[in-house]
Structure 1
Amino acid sequence: MTTVRALTAAECRKIDKPGFYRVADTLYLFVKKQTLRKSWVQRIVIDGKRRNIGLGSFDLVSISKAKDKALKNRIAVADGENPMIDKQRSNVPTFEIAARDMFTGLTFKNDKNRRAWIRQLEIHVFPKIGKMTVDKITGPDVLSIVKNLWKTKPATGKTIRQQVRQVLSYCQAHNYVAHNVAGEAIDGALPKNGIGTKNHRAIDYRDMPDAMKLIRDKVTSLPVRLCMQFIALTATRSNEARSARWSEIDFDSSTWIIPADRMKGKKEHRVPLSKSAMDVLEQAMPLRNPSDLIFPSAKQPHKPIVGSSISRTLQTIGLADKTTIHGFRSTFRT
C-alpha cells in the first residue's frame, strides 16, 4: 500500500493550484479555486459522517499550530465528543450582538419606527442581558425585564417581550439556542396587564355636519382641507388617504381602489365614493402634479402631506378636544 507523504510548511507555501493537500493525519491545506487563498481544513469522521472543520487561514495559523488543533480534535472525537459543537458554542453571540445583527436585516415602515425598535432594547434590555451570550439567557432573566413593565407600562412591556422573543427566534434559527426562553414558557408567569383596545376620541355623528363646515371654512391649506374631508367621507385611515393617488380612482364606478401594499392588512381594499367624496376629488384637480398624489404637500409637492399637519389643524380649529382624525372612522360607523 502506497503512503502519501505529508507536506512541509515550505512546500505548502509553493502550492498555487486549487484543491486539498494532505499535511498530516486528517489535516489538509485547502486552496480556494476563485481566489487561491489558503486555509487549514481538518477532514474527520464524526458520528459516522465525514466533516470539514476550518482551522484558520494559512497566513495566520502556522503549520505546527494547525497540527496541534487537528490532534486536539482527533482526541476529542476518540473520547466521544463533537468538536464542531464546541466550535459553534465558541461563536455564540451576546444578546446585543445578535439583536443588532438581526436589526440590520429588518424592514420598517419609516425611519422613526426603525430608530424606536433598537432604542427600546438599548433602554430596557441591553443594560441587563446585552452582554450575556444568548445560550446563557434563561426565562427568569427575561421575566426580570418584562414583569415590572408589564404592570406599569403594559404596552412597552408587551413590545419588549415581543422583541426579545424575536431576537431569540433569530438565534434559534442560527442554532445558537435550542429553545426560545421568551416564548410560551413564560406566559403563565406574566400577570394580566392593562392592554386593551384604545378608543379614539370621536365626534358625535349629529355634530358631524358642523365639524365638516368648520373644516371647509377654517382650514386654509387646500390639500389639508380636502384630505380631512376625504378621510371623514370615506372612513379610511389617515395614511391611506394622505398617500392616495389619482391612478387608484376609478371615476367610471366612483370607486377608490387601495392597493394591498398600502393597506394595514396587506389586502386590496375598494372604497365606494359618495357624491360628496367625488366633489372633494374634483376640487383637488388643481393640485395634480407628476407625483400622482391627490393631496400633495404644499412645500414638497412630490410627497404627501404629513399626519402631524392634520393633527395641528384639528387643534387650530378647535376640534382636537372632540375628536382625532382617526376618530372620524368611529363616527362614520355610528
Structure 2
Amino acid sequence: MRTGKHPQKALTQVRINSLSKPGRYADGNGLYLVVDPSGAKRWVLRTLVHGKRRDIGLGGLRVVSLAEARDKAIEFRKIARDGGNPIEIRRRAKAIIPTFADAAQQAYDSHKGAWRNDKHAAQWINTLKAYAIPTLGEIRVDHIETRDVMKVLTPIWLSKPETARRLKQRLSTVLDWAKAAGFRAGDNPVDGVAKGLPKQPDRKSHFEAIPFDHVADFLRQLREANANEYARLAFEFLILTATRTNEVLRARWQEIDLRQNIWVIPAERMKAGKEHRVPLAPQVVKLVSRAKEISTSDFVFPGRRADQPLSNMVFLMTLRRMDLDFTAHGFRSAFRDWAAERTNFPRDVCEMALAHAIKSKVEAAYRRGDLFEKRRDLMQAWADFCHTETGADQDGSQK
C-alpha cells in the first residue's frame, strides 16, 4: 500500500504509532516506513546507487526514530549522489566496528589465557550472555552509552547485588578492551552509572568464615560425619594446610614429597601464578599416607573416576549436609585470625603461609626467600591447635 507518490515529510510520530496495516508508508525523498505482516515496523530508503534503484534498510522503528531515519536518509543520499555506495560503506563500517556481542567474545578470548581457573573463565562470559547480550548484543560498541549500561544493571542491581557487581566489572572490561582496540573513544560508559544506581545493601563478608576456636570441633564432626573418605581427607588436608580448594582438589602425587614432608603446588594452579611450597605437619602426612593406601589415581583425592579429581562442589555439599553456613575458603580466614590472635609469628610468615602476594613492588624485589622453615613451625602449631582441642594426639589419631 502506498499513501502518495511524493509526500513531503508526510509521517509524524502520532501517525506512525497509529499504523497497523501492512504496507509501505512514504515520508518523502525516498524514505519509507514499512509495516510487516507481523506488525514490525522498519525504515527503508529507496535511492539510486551507481544508476540502479536500490532499497537500503535503515533499521527497525524500535531502535531508529523518525528523526534518526531522516538523518540517515540524507547521509546515504549524499553518498550516492557523490558517486559512492552507501550499502558498501555501511557493510565495511559494520565489519570494522564490532557489536557488543562480538566485542565481548573478543575481549574474553584475549583475557582467558591469563585465567588459570576454567570455571571462572566460563562464568565470566556466561554472565555477559545471560544479562548483557540480550540488551546490548546488537549495538555497536561505539554507540553504547551510560543509559544502555543502566538498562542492563538496573533490573538486578538490588535483587542480585553480587551478580550485578561482577557484571558491571565485566561490562567495563569489554568496553575498555574496545577502546584499546580502537573501536571506541572517550570515557567508559560504565563509569557513569554510579550516580544513577541506588545504594546496595552492605555486603556480607565475601567468604563466611568459621571462628578459629570452632575449627577443632568442626574437624571432630567431620570425622564422625558419614562422608566419602576422600572428601573427608581432602577437607581436613585443606584446613591444615590453609590452602585453596582448587589447589587441593587437583593435587597430584608427583607434587608431594613424603620424605621431606613438602607439597609443591605448581605456578599454574596458584592464584599469584608463582610456585608455592607447603610444609606438611605430621598430622597432614598421616592424612596423605591414608589417601595413598586407598589411591588408584594420579590425583591425591580422586573423584568417582580415577582420572578425575573430586568435584569442586564437594566441600560445599559436605558443609550443607552438616547444616553449616561456612565456606571452605573461610577456613583460610580462620587460620589467619588464629595466627594473629593466638601466636607471635611475624605477619610476613603468616601471609606467606597463605601464599598472598607482596603488595609492595619494592619489598617484592628484595624478598627472595619464602620463609619456609619459619612457615613449617607455624603450620605445625596450627595442626597441633586443631588436633589438641579435639583430644587428638600428635599424629592426628583420636585418643
Say whether residues 1:330 and 2:333 are aligned partners.
Answer: yes
Superposed counterparts of 1:1-334, under 5 Å? 89-91=93-95, 92-103=97-108, 107=112, 113=120, 115-187=122-194, 189-190=196-197, 192-194=199-201, 196=203, 198-289=205-296, 291=298, 293-297=299-303, 299-316=304-321, 318=322, 320-321=323-324, 323-333=326-336, 334=338
Structure 1 residues 322, 100: CA separation in 2 closer, same or farther (over 3 Å shift)? closer
Equivalents in 2 of 1:149, 1:314: separation in Å?
28
Deviation larger for 261-270 or 108-117: 108-117
Equivalents in 2 of 1:325, 1:123: separation in Å?
28
Task: Tell me if the contact between 2:315 and 2:328 (Cα under 8 Å) persists in the aligned partners.
Answer: yes
Return the letter of the residue paired with 1:294: V
Following superposition, the deviation at residue 120 of structure 1 comes to: 2.8
- Structure 1 residue matching 2:277: 3-state secondary structure: strand
Structure 1 residues 126, 240: CA separation in 2 closer, same or farther (over 3 Å shift)? same
Structure 1 unaligned spans of 5+:
1-63, 66-71, 78-83
Structure 2 unaligned spans of 5+:
1-50, 53-78, 339-399
Task: Tell me if the contact between 1:219 and 1:225 (Cα under 8 Å) persists in the aligned partners.
Answer: no
Equivalents in 2 of 1:90, 1:323: separation in Å?
50
CA RMSD between the two structures: 3.5
Aligned positions, number: 254
Equivalents in 1 of 2:116, 2:332: separation in Å?
22
Equivalents in 2 of 1:322, 1:129: separation in Å?
37
TM-score, structure 1 normalization = 0.63
Structure 1 residues 123, 307: CA separation in 2 closer, same or farther (over 3 Å shift)? closer
TM-score, structure 2 normalization = 0.54
Q: What is the CA deviation profile of residues 176-219 of structure 1, one whole-angstrom value per residue up to 9, with x for unaligned ones?
A: 22235335455555554346452544444444333323322334
Q: Give the % identical residues.
A: 31
Following superposition, the deviation at residue 280 of structure 1 comes to: 1.0
Equivalents in 1 of 2:211, 2:192: separation in Å?
45
Task: Tell me if the contact between 1:129 and 1:141 (Cα under 8 Å) persists in the aligned partners.
Answer: yes
Task: Tell me if the contact between 2:154 and 2:197 (Cα under 8 Å) persists in the aligned partners.
Answer: yes
Following superposition, the deviation at residue 282 of structure 1 comes to: 1.5
Indicate the residue corresponding to 2:383 in structure 1. none
Return the letter of the residue paired with 2:300: I
Indicate the residue corresponding to 1:30 in structure 2. none
- Structure 1 residue matching 2:234: 3-state secondary structure: helix
Q: What is the CA deviation profile of residues 112-159 of structure 1, one whole-angstrom value per residue up to 9, with x for unaligned ones?
A: 555544443344223333222222222222233224533443222222
Return the letter of the residue paired with 2:242: A
Following superposition, the deviation at residue 230 of structure 1 comes to: 0.7
Equivalents in 2 of 1:148, 1:231: separation in Å?
38
Following superposition, the deviation at residue 173 of structure 1 comes to: 3.5
Equivalents in 2 of 1:122, 1:208: separation in Å?
40
Equivalents in 1 of 2:215, 2:189: separation in Å?
47
Following superposition, the deviation at residue 268 of structure 1 comes to: 2.4
- Structure 1 residue matching 2:102: 3-state secondary structure: helix
Equivalents in 2 of 1:202, 1:185: separation in Å?
34
Structure 1 residues 265, 219: CA separation in 2 closer, same or farther (over 3 Å shift)? farther
Deviation larger for 251-260 or 229-238: 251-260
Following superposition, the deviation at residue 265 of structure 1 comes to: 2.4
Structure 1 segments, 4+ long, off by >6 Å, are 84-87
- Structure 1 residue matching 2:313: 3-state secondary structure: helix
Structure 1 residues 150, 175: CA separation in 2 closer, same or farther (over 3 Å shift)? same
Task: Tell me if the contact between 2:149 and 2:190 (Cα under 8 Å) persists in the aligned partners.
Answer: no
Following superposition, the deviation at residue 111 of structure 1 comes to: 6.3
- Structure 1 residue matching 2:273: 3-state secondary structure: coil
